[in-house]
Amino acid sequence: MTRKFSFSLSRKHFAVPYMAFLALFVIVPLVMLFVNAFMAADGSFTFANFAKFFTEKTGLLTFLESMLIGAITTVLCFFIGYPIAYILSNPKYNKTTVLIFLFILPMWINFLLRTIAMKELLEMLNVELGYGTILLGMVYDFLPFMILPIYTTLTNIDKSYVEASEDLGAKPMQVFFKTILPLSVPGIVSGVMMVFMPTMSSFVISDMMSNNTILLFGSRINRYFTNATDVSQKVGSAYSLILLIVIGITVLLSKKLNKNQVPAKGGDLW
């Protein structure tokens, strides 16, 4: 009796290429980064690479400066992006695909090209490049990443909550601050994550929008890695690991903020 060979594809089989890609280009580089961060020039174990972050004046100050710029960028994107997302989520406008398309369109263009165009425009207007232009470039590039998650959350809010608030006598401002705003917290948290974390690690925007006169934390890491010496690359690995820890803490805090949220239409908001 001959045995027939049968082969069937399941969902887990389609995940194999992605898992292989993830292991090769994400996990392996992270392991190499971790090993180099604790390695001295002679190959021995050391904390000296991390000590430079606290002992060198430029290390900690640059990190705090990057945190401040990231926070300001995130706040600006929120105060600009939330009203836009709120207007677009209105039934009068959310069917107007042209308006939504106008905010999605910049994401289709490479951010480097957009940054170059912004820099050329500012130079044509004789605007001095510095902290102000860095913030302008950051907001310009990352604003869509704040608008889209908030817009998605607002459009998925069950309108019965709003109607119930109005039936109980709540005024429009009370409906917004006590019902709509709390229900949109998951979208806000997602937008904050999508803006703050890339801002912290960005170096192209800060370098171009300041003519390399202002170095943020991402710029310093980039210079450590582009330096030819092996020691500087190990210091850059330590700096990168510190940044990863900060991002990890931010992710954990965002998950805590999303707990105990009122369920939206069809389930949890998150």
pLDDT digits (tens, 9 = 90+) for 162-218: 888 888 888 888 888 888 998 999 899 999 999 998 898 888 898 899 988 888 898
Q: How confident is the model at residue 268 (pLDDT cuts 50, 70, 90)?
A: very low
Position 79 pLDDT exceeds 60? yes
Q: What is the DSSP string of 37-80?
A: HTB-TTS-B-SHHHHHHHHSHHHHHHHHHHHHHHHHHHHHHHHH
Average pLDDT (218-241) is 84
The identity of residue 8, as a single letter, is S
Query: Both tokens of residue 190?
Result: 């997602």
Position 270 pLDDT exceeds 70? no
**Are 54 and 47 in contact, with CB atoms under 8 Å apart?**
no
Query: What is the model's pLDDT at position 260?
Result: 53
Position 230 pLDDT exceeds 90? no
pTM over 0.75: yes
pLDDT digits (tens, 9 = 90+) for 3-35: 655 556 677 777 888 889 988 988 998 999 899
Average pLDDT (154-161) is 87
Helices (H), 125-175: 131-156, 159-167, 172-175
Q: In the Cβ-directed half-sphere of 94, how many Cα atoms lie within 13 Å?
A: 13
Taken in order 66, 71, 72, 74, the sign of the CA dihedral is positive
pLDDT digits (tens, 9 = 90+) for 81-139: 999 999 888 776 655 567 777 777 777 888 888 899 899 999 999 989 989 999 999 99
Domains, the chain, in order of start with CATH, read 50-257 (1.10.3720.10)
* C-alpha to C-alpha distances, 139 to 70, 80, 100, 168, 198, nearest whole angstrom: 10, 9, 18, 39, 12
Position 71 pLDDT exceeds 90? yes
Position 228 pLDDT exceeds 70? no
Query: What is the model's pLDDT at position 93?
Result: 64
List the single range of 57-66, 149-158, 257-266 with lowest mean pLDDT.
257-266
Who wins on pLDDT, 10 or 36? 36
Query: What is the model's pLDDT at position 261?
Result: 56
